[in-house]
Structure 1
Amino acid sequence: MTLTMRFLLLLAVCFFWTVSTSHVPYDSIFSFGDSLADTGNFLLSGALAFPVIGNLPYGETFFGHATGRCSDGRLVIDFIAEAYGLQFVPPYLALTEGQKVQHGVNFAVAGATALDSKFFYDKNIGNFLWTNDSLSIQLGWFKKLKSTLCTTKQDCDNYFKGSLFLMGEIGGNDYNYPFFLGSTITELKAVVPLVVETIAAATSMLIEEGAVELVVPGNFPIGCSAVYLTLFQTPNKAAYDQNGCLKAYNAFSKYHNAQLKLALEKLRKKYPHTRIIYADYYGAAKQLVHLPKHHGFYGGLKACCGGGGPYNFNNSARCGHTGSKPCMDPSTYANWDGVHLTEAAYRYIATGLTKGPFTSPPLKSSSMFDGL
């Protein structure tokens, strides 16, 4: 081997060593939200004595057992963690005394609302809440944990500089509970500013605590979900769009998302040193409805797991209950149980967030070789 070849080989080894040991964009993930992000907190909270999400078929696809995730497998947060080479983010209520948190914590709780539970109890619908662990409770958990992660402001700033904060999805349940109990779209439009303000305030609080990179997702197109299509079905064909979704409820989701984007723009001006990223869950999920077969989904708007009906959602035989059963291949369905999505759908959405185009501004590259 000539001297020149040895020199080139040494350069290649040094280059590979530099790349392979370089840090990934994020060292840890801190997550807040509801059932779209919960990896076990609701189950661990004991809010229900026998929650169906604690048993198969929930978790059947990837884990082979129920984990407290409201799906057949992994969620968006799981795929984001995988994309950045991180371990799955543990639920806060699973932490043990003195446990070191290296890669972040998930505070999300299934059924959680952005607004405090008192808001719903004052409107006489609090008894229908799955949980009282609203966004403010989750933020309280974060503050409590923070004292074990860092002590001084400088320490915290350094620690959170490499952290990705996921603010939700949150807010969907603030509308689901009232909608399912008979509230009208007009009535709930008046609640949107309160929900958005709460999400923005929580995002601001995290920034004040040291967060610099935050993802704030919008709401899904609820008019395409099996539960809404079942509860609010109508013989009026004009109520449906070309994909079979309820136009009025999708318009409501878009209204929430538009208000949320305006609020985030104000936060960006207030905190120019941060990256506040809007995640377009609506746009990503709509692709699965607009071009389902193109993405490998053949179940249409039906739920994979359910007890029959036009959309395979039966309130008296919901997924996991007697009279329901899962489909043979969940990977060909976007909707899992009428309310939540399948692992396959969450994978598609997560890919749209980490690789584009459904984040604005885009997330940092999840590949250390991008741009080389």
Structure 2
Amino acid sequence: MSQLSILFTSFIILLNSFRPVAGGCFTSIFSFGDSFTDTGNLKASGTSNPIINFPYGETYFHHPTGRCSDGRLIVDFIGMHIYISEAACLPLLPPYLLGPDEHRDFRKGVNFAVVGATALEISFFVDKGISLPVTNYSLGSQLEWFKLLLPSLCSSDSECKNVLGNALFLMGEIGGNDYFNVLGDGRSLEETKTFVPLVVNAITRTLLVPGIVPFGCIPANLVSFRSSNSEDYDQETGCIKWLNEFAVYHNLLLIKELDRLRKMHPHANIIYADCYQAAMPIFQSPEKYGFQNSPLLACCGGGGLYNYNSSCLCGELGSTVCIEPSRYVSWDGLHFTEAAYKIIAAGLLQGKYTNPPFTKTCALFETIENLEFSRNTY
């Protein structure tokens, strides 16, 4: 914890020394998080997981990249809009575990996020007898990776201020695995709520901090926490109310902690990204956004209710995939399709769901529909 505290202090120093580059944007992105942000670290680690199989990646990359979607993630769309100059945009973020080479310049940014990562340290769950089904990587692991990478990014204080002072640090989405490891272990909602301040404290140490998405609208959760009581469900969306209320509870505590950090560090530019509110309109009016199927139905899965089957996951033998993922909100029952991520990212980038608005920080924007970038291998 002492090492993490030191690293947290270095983040605050970087935030306080932050000065926007020409145009008010950033020269690089350093991203941390879980499966909503991982661009290939779990795959690069050699861990066996269905996400390394087709049809993951089919829409944009046409092959699995280690992203938990059919295509790009929110972090990919953010990278499209944060310019190095008026003529060039940031490349897709390479996963840290691939290592740098002539094709991957980590000075332009790198992704430390890992599928299944938790905000709290692994020892926290071990001490409480809670199993971790996907990975033993935590946010602390990712911050240690960043610490190890620093010497290769800059060799002096002035160089570090230039390279890192103009970087966007994206922390999340993360925290969901912490909660569902606990809930999945059969612990009560009341006990799980006691962990929220610890999770929030672990993730409020960066520039752009996303809140968590509507838990009650995720097909896997709708299956795992299925109820015969109609009062547990929102009549408008079909989502589980108490799970969404829990997500709102986490986000409210996160906002409160960010407000505290802003007062402590008035020169730091700390942005809250409300992914919950950015995603909810999709579940409330899916047809408005071009989704022709139920937003609670997974495109890729092993059948059953909501097309999510924990015994036959997307990418495993026996699973099937829909013909047009762009008509679905959920990709594999746990994560969104590229089409859904694109809409959420647009809401964040346009400033409607960020506080302060992203548009006040980065002045150079084009609409997502008019801006594309070339495909690459990661």
Specify the alignment match of 1:129 in structure 2: 133
What is the one-letter code of the residue matched to 1:224? C
SS at match of 1:275: coil
Specify the alignment match of 1:225 in structure 2: 218
Specify the alignment match of 2:209 in structure 1: 216
2: CA distance, partners of 1:326 / 1:188: 34
User: Cα offset for 1:118?
Assistant: 0.7
1: CA distance, partners of 2:172 / 2:327: 26
User: Cα offset for 1:365?
Assistant: 3.5
Unaligned runs of 5+ in 2: 1-20, 83-88, 368-378
Q: Is the 8 A contact 1:354 1:366 kept in 2?
A: no
Specify the alignment match of 1:291 in structure 2: 285
User: Cα offset for 1:24?
Assistant: 6.6
Runs of 4+ aligned structure 1 residues displaced above 6 Å come to none
Q: Is the 8 A contact 1:91 1:105 kept in 2?
A: yes
Please, what TM-score do these two structures have when normalized by structure 1? Answer: 0.87
Residue 155 of structure 2 is aligned to residue 148 of structure 1: no
Specify the alignment match of 1:367 in structure 2: 364
Specify the alignment match of 1:282 in structure 2: 276
Q: Is the 8 A contact 1:27 1:103 kept in 2?
A: yes
SS at match of 2:320: coil
Q: Is the 8 A contact 2:302 2:312 kept in 1?
A: yes
Higher relative contact order (CA 8 A, sep 6+): 2
2: CA distance, partners of 1:47 / 1:264: 34
Q: Is the 8 A contact 1:38 1:110 kept in 2?
A: yes
1: CA distance, partners of 2:365 / 2:211: 28
What is the one-letter code of the residue matched to 1:222? F
Residue 166 of structure 2 is aligned to residue 181 of structure 1: no
Q: Is the 8 A contact 2:23 2:364 kept in 1?
A: no
SS at match of 1:112: coil
Correspondence for 2:245 among 248, 251, 255: 251
Specify the alignment match of 2:16 in structure 1: none
Q: Which moved more, 1:349-358 or 1:151-160?
A: 151-160
User: Cα offset for 1:22?
Assistant: 5.8
User: Cα offset for 1:244?
Assistant: 0.5
Q: Could you report, residue by residue, the CA deviation over 1:213-266 in whole angstroms, capped at 9, with x for unpaired residues?
A: x11011111001101111111121111112101000100000000000001011
1: CA distance, partners of 2:366 / 2:297: 40
Specify the alignment match of 1:71 in structure 2: 69
What is the one-letter code of the residue matched to 2:39? T
Q: Could you report, residue by residue, the CA deviation over 1:38-74 in whole angstroms, capped at 9, with x for unpaired residues?
A: 00001111233xx211111000000000000011000
What is the one-letter code of the residue matched to 1:367? L
Residue 188 of structure 2 is aligned to residue 195 of structure 1: no
Q: Is the 8 A contact 1:24 1:368 kept in 2?
A: no
Residue 336 of structure 2 is aligned to residue 331 of structure 1: no
1: CA distance, partners of 2:109 / 2:74: 15
Residue 112 of structure 2 is aligned to residue 107 of structure 1: yes
Specify the alignment match of 2:170 in structure 1: 166
User: Cα offset for 1:299?
Assistant: 2.2
Aligned length: 336
Specify the alignment match of 2:6 in structure 1: none
Q: In percent, how many aligned pairs have the same letter?
A: 49
Specify the alignment match of 1:138 in structure 2: 142
Specify the alignment match of 1:11 in structure 2: none
1: CA distance, partners of 2:327 / 2:352: 23
Q: Could you report, residue by residue, the CA deviation over 1:5-60 in whole angstroms, capped at 9, with x for unpaired residues?
A: xxxxxxxxxxxxxxxx9657111000000000000001111233xx2111110000
Specify the alignment match of 1:322 in structure 2: 317
2: CA distance, partners of 1:104 / 1:199: 19
Please, what TM-score do these two structures have when normalized by structure 2? Answer: 0.85
User: Cα offset for 1:310?
Assistant: 2.3
Correspondence for 2:263 among 264, 269, 288: 269
Residue 313 of structure 2 is aligned to residue 344 of structure 1: no
What is the one-letter code of the residue matched to 1:57? P
